[in-house]
């Protein structure tokens, strides 16, 4: 199978060769046409001047031509490829250059024929003779001159050599141009194929599990640059995903190990008779089982959301009513921490989406805000429309904030800003991952803005 590089070189070379050949043919035909027209015009002018010279040599008194002068004119014309035969009207004068210089006439015609075939190998010419009337103002027609030549047209030695040199120049120019084109084709093929080859090598390495490798090829071609960029981004994304999978496996193992160890320890102690199977101990085991169940359910829910396996029941609903109900549901928690939830939501505020899923997002975000807010702080919920395209919802707290270097990981599975959060609050670090998945299923976006010591804002954009 031929490589792209070789195919491009061959295709470019063939294309260039065809163009060169066509241009050579066009130039050659143009030159031939120009010289043919030039030769034909020159021949006509030469014949007309010769006829005029013969007419000027007519002697009115004797009514005939001077033979010596006619011979000189005949010899001069013979050197230019014209064979003259002259007859007077009263038949008292006849001149034929072939009877006086037969061999020279043959040589001249052969030389002209050789020159024409040297320039044009397929040229088909033959001896041609045209008759012209000789006139005089006083006597009218005074005779006839027959002009013979190798036709339909002929070139002189110098003209034939010039045409031959031009044809050679065109040929060698074409050869040089073709060689230059092949060199350019090789350079262009390398510039196009090298990035592609680099991408292929990277793709092969990625296929073997070597994620994160980057193609270093550069190209001034936008499509190739985009191709290199895309494969590099894919490699980076696969590496990131692989790291996330490993981290997730580690986190899941950690999350499962703690409750399982607790259950195992308590059950074994009761089996061995070290502990009495009291109600309190059984309730502890039940609590750990519920924790495991919740973790598994959340992981399943996250999988369903991220893989678009669930149908969303979309409708327009009152966002103001939802916020009021949520404030009532969180009343005990905000009372315990003396926190106020301030609503900046118009009464006619609406959202288009799945009611239960949007409510789940708001519960997760409000719960986080309460968890990370200090006693006596305030939590804000705002709503505004951005033109006729989307709504913007913000959940604002004035708690401890998130370090800048950790903001990029806030939506990852099992990630916790507060490493002690598991023991302190029972959170498993999946809530924000689920929230992000829900918003993206609604073709929306969620962004977090935070500053340590000042608080955190989660901003949701949803299409109308």
**Other residues' Cβ atoms within 10 Å of the Cβ of residue 361:** 27
What confidence category does residue 426 fall into, taking pLDDT thresholds of 50, 70 and 90? very low
The pLDDT mean for the chain works out to 82
pLDDT of residue 349: 92
Helices 319-329 and 355-372 pack at an angle, to 10 degrees, of 50
Confidence of residue 110 (pLDDT cuts 50, 70, 90): confident
Give the per-residue pLDDT at 425. Answer: 47
Tokens 């549901």 sit on residue: 329
Contacts of 310 (CB under 8 A, 6+ apart): 304, 441
3-state SS, 116-181, equals: HHHHCCCCCCEEEEEEEEEEECCCEEEEEEEEEEEECCCCCHHHHHHHHHHHHHHHHHHHHHHHHH
Q: Does residue 417 have a pLDDT over 70?
A: no
d(CA 88, CA 228): 91
Instruction: Note if the pTM is more than 0.85.
Output: no
Highest mean predicted confidence (pLDDT) among 134-148, 164-178, 400-414: 134-148
- Nearest to 135, CA basis, from 198, 220, 58: 58
Helix (H, G, I), strand (E, B) or coil at 132: strand
Instruction: Find the mean pLDDT for residues 218-244.
Output: 80
Identify the pLDDT of residue 307: 61
Q: For residues 240-252, give the mean pLDDT.
A: 72
Question: Does pLDDT of 422 surpass 70?
Answer: no
| CB 355 within 8 Å of CB 361 | no
Sorted by where each starts, the structural domains of the chain and their CATH numbers stand as 4-173 (3.30.450), 211-310 (1.10.287.130), 313-463 (3.30.565.10)
Section 359-387 average pLDDT = 89
Average pLDDT, stretch 200-211?
A: 84
pLDDT tens string 434-453: 889 889 888 999 999 998 88
Q: What is the pLDDT of residue 395?
A: 93
- Residues shown for the chain: 464
- The predicted-structure confidence for 50-61, as pLDDT tens digits, reads as follows 999 988 888 887
Q: Is the per-residue pLDDT at 108 higher than 70?
A: yes
Given a cut of 60, whether residue 76 has pLDDT beyond it is yes
The span from the CA of 234 to the CA of 246, in Å, is 18
Q: Return the axis-axis angle of helices 102-119 and 67-79, rounded to nearest 10°.
A: 20
């Amino acid at each position: 199978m031929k490589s792209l590089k070789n195919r491009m070189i061959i295709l470019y070379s063939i294309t260039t060769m065809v163009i060169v050949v066509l241009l050579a043919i066009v130039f050659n035909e143009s030159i031939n046409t120009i010289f043919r027209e030039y030769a034909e015009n020159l021949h006509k002018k030469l014949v007309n001047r010769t006829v005029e010279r013969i007419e000027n040599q007519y002697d009115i008194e004797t009514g005939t031509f001077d033979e010596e002068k006619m011979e000189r004119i005949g010899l001069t014309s013979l050197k230019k490829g014209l064979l003259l035969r002259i007859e007077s009207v009263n038949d008292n004068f006849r001149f034929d250059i072939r009877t006086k210089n037969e061999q020279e006439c043959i040589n001249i015609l052969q030389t002209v024929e050789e020159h024409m075939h040297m320039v044009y190998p397929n040229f088909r010419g033959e001896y041609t003779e045209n008759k012209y009337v000789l006139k005089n103002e006083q006597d009218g027609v005074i005779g006839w001159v027959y002009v013979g030549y190798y036709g339909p047209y002929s070139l002189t030695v110098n003209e034939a050599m010039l045409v031959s040199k031009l044809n050679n120049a065109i040929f060698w120019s074409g050869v040089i141009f073709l060689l230059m084109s092949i060199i350019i084709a090789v350079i262009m093929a390398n510039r196009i194929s090298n990035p592609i080859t680099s991408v292929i090598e990277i793709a092969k390495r990625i296929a073997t599990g070597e994620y994160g490798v980057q193609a270093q090829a550069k190209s001034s071609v936008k499509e190739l640059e985009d191709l290199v960029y895309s494969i590099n981004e894919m490699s980076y994304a696969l590496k990131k995903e692989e790291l996330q999978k490993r981290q997730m496996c580690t986190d899941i193992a950690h999350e499962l190990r703690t409750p399982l160890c607790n259950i195992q320890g308590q059950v074994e102690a009761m089996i061995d008779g070290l502990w009495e199977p009291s109600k309190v101990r059984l309730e502890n085991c039940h609590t750990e089982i519920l924790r495991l169940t919740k973790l598994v359910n959340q992981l399943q829910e996250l999988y369903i959301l991220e893989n678009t396996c669930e149908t969303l029941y979309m409708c327009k609903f009152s966002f103001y009513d939802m916020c009021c109900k949520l404030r009532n549901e969180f009343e005990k928690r905000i009372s315990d921490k003396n926190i106020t939830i301030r609503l900046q939501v118009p009464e006619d505020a609406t959202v288009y989406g799945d009611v239960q899923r949007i409510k789940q997002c708001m519960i997760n975000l409000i719960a986080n805000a309460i968890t990370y807010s200090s006693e006596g702080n305030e939590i804000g919920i705002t709503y505004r429309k951005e033109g006729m395209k989307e709504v913007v919802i913000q959940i604002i707290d004035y708690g401890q904030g998130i370090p800048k270097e950790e903001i990029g990981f806030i939506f990852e599975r099992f990630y916790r800003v507060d490493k002690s959060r598991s023991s302190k609050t029972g959170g498993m670090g999946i809530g924000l991952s689920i929230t992000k998945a829900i918003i993206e299923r609604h073709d929306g976006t969620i962004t977090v803005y935070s500053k340590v010591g000042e608080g955190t804002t989660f901003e949701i954009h949803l299409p109308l």
